[in-house]
Amino acid sequence: MNGDIALAAHGLRRSFHQGRVRALDGVDFQLPAQASVAITGASGSGKTTLLYALSGLLELDAGTVSVEGHSPKTPAHWADLRRDRIGLVFQDDWLLPALSVAQNIEIAMHNTHRTAAERQARTRELLQLVNAEAFAERRPNELSGGERQRVAVARGLANAPAILLADEPTGELDQANSTHIADLLFDLQRSQGLSLVIVTHEHTLARRCALQFVMQDGRGAFDPDKAAP
Amino acid sequence: MRLVLIALRNLAYWQPRNLGAMAGILIAIASLVALVGLARGVQDTLLNALDMRGTDVLITEAGALDLISSIVPDSLAQDAAQITGVDATAPELTRLTTLEDGRSVVVVAWPVDSYPWDSLTLAQGRLPTAQDAQTVVLGQALADRLSANIGDTITLFHEPFEVIGTVTATALLSRSAAYARIGDVQALTFRQGQATSINIRTERAHRTATLQTLRAGFPDLSVETTDALGDSYLFGRIANVLALAISTVAVVSAVLVIFNTMSTSVTARRGEIAILSAVGWNRPHIVAMLLIEGSVISMIAGGLGILAGILLATGVAAHPQIVGFVDPVINAGLVAWAFAVSLGVGLLGTLVPALRAVRRPPAEVLRGR
């Protein structure tokens, strides 16, 4: 896959409040396979909106998104891609409060080809990967912010996606946890050949990405100081 | 992890919210069962009493408001007895009177040795004879209510009546009534020679033909089978309309409460729905999970609501002011109907907001956290 385009977007437009706020104003974006891109910009510049658009979570006014060469047209197709090819990590961990840590990870493997035993084995593997085995049976409200975010990363990786999209994954963490999560993401990106998109306002984290896509007032462009894709 | 297991874990976790939803459904279904059961019971209580005594056809005054306000000559019983296919007849004078404790009681009067007396099962004492004067037989429920024993005297129509027997019966009205000789009641209520109805027992094989002959023989009177009595009196028709109106109001209320409760419950979980969509769950799976939760809530609350409804109706029927006049009719049909309403509306009330929620782009919810 190296050399291919994992994610491509053309002419993305999305406005809110009857068109008064243009969150995306003709954005073109590309994510090379196995590369890492940081989407940066000021608050309200459209970073998160772009990430949602790239993952099919947002209805667009105009524009197209293709995932590994496929252009999903229906919500069902997008759901299949999010299950099989795209992992998501949110700023707010968005773990389901009724389920344990292990179940929160396993739930992402629902309706896949995996058997129950395989799902449980994969869950154990992911818990080990993010060093969360010790609190596998706890509920999210019993965890610290860093622990919850590690679980969210594990859930994002549950189905071994080719692409991982992370929205401010370290946004609400202290320095130690922030560094730990960032190390985890980049280790995974390298070891598993992930194509990684991170929305962040933290320069330290953005600098660790191979590419930087800067958003401003709904428009975006790759930072020329970093190699263009 | 199976879908059912996920749904059950959600139900367990969101206990306070689910208990609230259950309470709403429980109250709606309890009201439905109690109101419909009581409305049906008002009419069936009278019909059961007539049916139990073996009366197939009743002759009453045409256009009478109800059975008690009808007036016909008691001699009609002899005329009707001459008609082919009539097995037995008995004039009946039914009056409502007030006891010393202020409560009302139905007094049913027949000639001694007439066939309706055979429908009463003596628990104690004896039935009236031609030699008696102002004697009364009490239904067991009434005797218990009055703590009356054989030999005691009670006051009916401001006159003393000696209690000479107590009887049991399956029909509530029969258990709660007092039975006397028709001559005594006619004299005390100024209705000499009058009856409220003529009870007729027909030969089973000729019932339809006999009914037609009776109608032809008494064209100026109401000649109805006991099954059709509810429709033949104005009060019966009012009771029917009221039962229908109450049932409709109860069902509509239940539907609205359940629908609103389940809609609120699903709407409150838009965040979870959005995150399930974000991790790749497709819409049918999310809707299925919510429907499982909705059906469990509806079934538990519906079942408890039915039990509560039965208790409520029984409690209302036992109120001192109406005890003995209404036996709630809560049969398997009503129970099944109430359960179906609970489950059906619960599922529909879950499905509609669930479909609305899964159609909403997840980003709208995730951004708005």
Residues of A with Cβ-Cβ distance to B279 under 8 angstroms: 82-83, 88, 107-108, 155, 158
If asked whether residues B170 and B260 sit together in one domain, one would say no
Is B279 in contact with A83 (Cβ distance < 8 A)? yes
Indicate the residue among B165, B189, B219 that finishes a domain: B219
Closest CB to A107: pick one of B1, B13, B367: B1
In a domain, B335, yes or no: yes
Cα separation, A170 vs A168, whole angstroms? 5
If asked whether residues B89 and B139 sit together in one domain, one would say yes
Q: Closest by alpha carbon to B21, among B360, B320, B264?
A: B264
Please list the pLDDT of chain B residue by residue as tens digits (369 residues). 678 888 888 888 877 778 888 888 888 899 889 888 887 787 677 667 666 678 889 999 988 877 788 999 999 999 999 999 999 999 999 998 988 777 788 999 999 989 999 888 899 999 999 999 999 999 998 999 889 999 999 999 999 999 999 998 777 777 889 999 999 999 999 999 999 999 999 988 888 899 999 999 999 999 988 877 756 655 566 766 776 787 778 778 777 887 787 788 788 888 889 999 999 999 999 999 999 988 999 999 999 999 999 999 999 888 877 776 778 889 999 999 999 989 998 888 889 889 988 988 888 888 764
Rounded to the nearest angstrom, the minimum Cα separation between B30 and chain A is 30
In a domain, B118, yes or no: yes
In a domain, B126, yes or no: yes
Cα separation, B183 vs B193, whole angstroms? 9
If asked whether residues B350 and B297 sit together in one domain, one would say yes
Number of domains chain B contains? 2
Domains by residue range for chain A, with CATH: 5-222 (3.40.50.300)
Indicate the residue among B193, B219, B245 that finishes a domain: B219
Q: How many of the other CB atoms lie within 10 Å of CB of B99?
A: 15
In a domain, B225, yes or no: no
In the prediction, which pLDDT does A1 show?
Answer: 43
B→A interface, C-beta within 8 Å: 1, 3, 6, 9-10, 12-14, 271-272, 274-283, 285, 361-364, 366-367, 369
Asked whether the predicted pLDDT for residue A228 surpasses 60, the reply is: no
If asked whether residues B136 and B260 sit together in one domain, one would say no
Q: Closest by alpha carbon to B322, among B185, B161, B173?
A: B173
- Closest Cα in chain A to B12: A98
Domain assignment of residue B168, given as a range: 63-219
In a domain, B339, yes or no: yes
- Find the radius of gyration of the CA atoms of chain B: 28
If asked whether residues B262 and B192 sit together in one domain, one would say no
In a domain, B230, yes or no: no
Residues sharing a CB contact under 8 Å with residue B110, sequence separation 6 or more, in sequence order: B90, B91, B92, B116, B117, B179, B181, B182, B199
If asked whether residues B265 and B338 sit together in one domain, one would say yes
In a domain, B53, yes or no: no
Q: Give Cα separations from B65 to A76, A99, B254 (angstroms).
A: 65, 65, 33
Chain A and chain B share a number of CB contacts under 8 A equal to 83
In a domain, B359, yes or no: yes
Q: How confident is the model at residue A215 (pLDDT cuts 50, 70, 90)?
A: very high
In the prediction, which pLDDT does A2 show?
Answer: 44
Is B275 in contact with A110 (Cβ distance < 8 A)? no
Closest CB to A88: pick one of B9, B278, B283: B278
Residues of B with Cβ-Cβ distance to A160 under 8 angstroms: none
pLDDT digits (tens, 9 = 90+) for A107-124: 999 888 889 899 999 999
The ipTM is 0.89
Best residue of B3, B265, B279 to probe chain A, by most A CBs closer than 10 Å: B279
**What order of strands is seen across the sheet that includes strand A62-67?**
A21-32, A5-16, A62-67
Residues of B with Cβ-Cβ distance to A57 under 8 angstroms: 274, 277-278, 361-363, 366
Specify whether the CB–CB gap between B134 and B159 falls below 8 A: yes
Say if strands A163-167 and A195-199 run parallel, antiparallel, or are unpaired. Answer: parallel
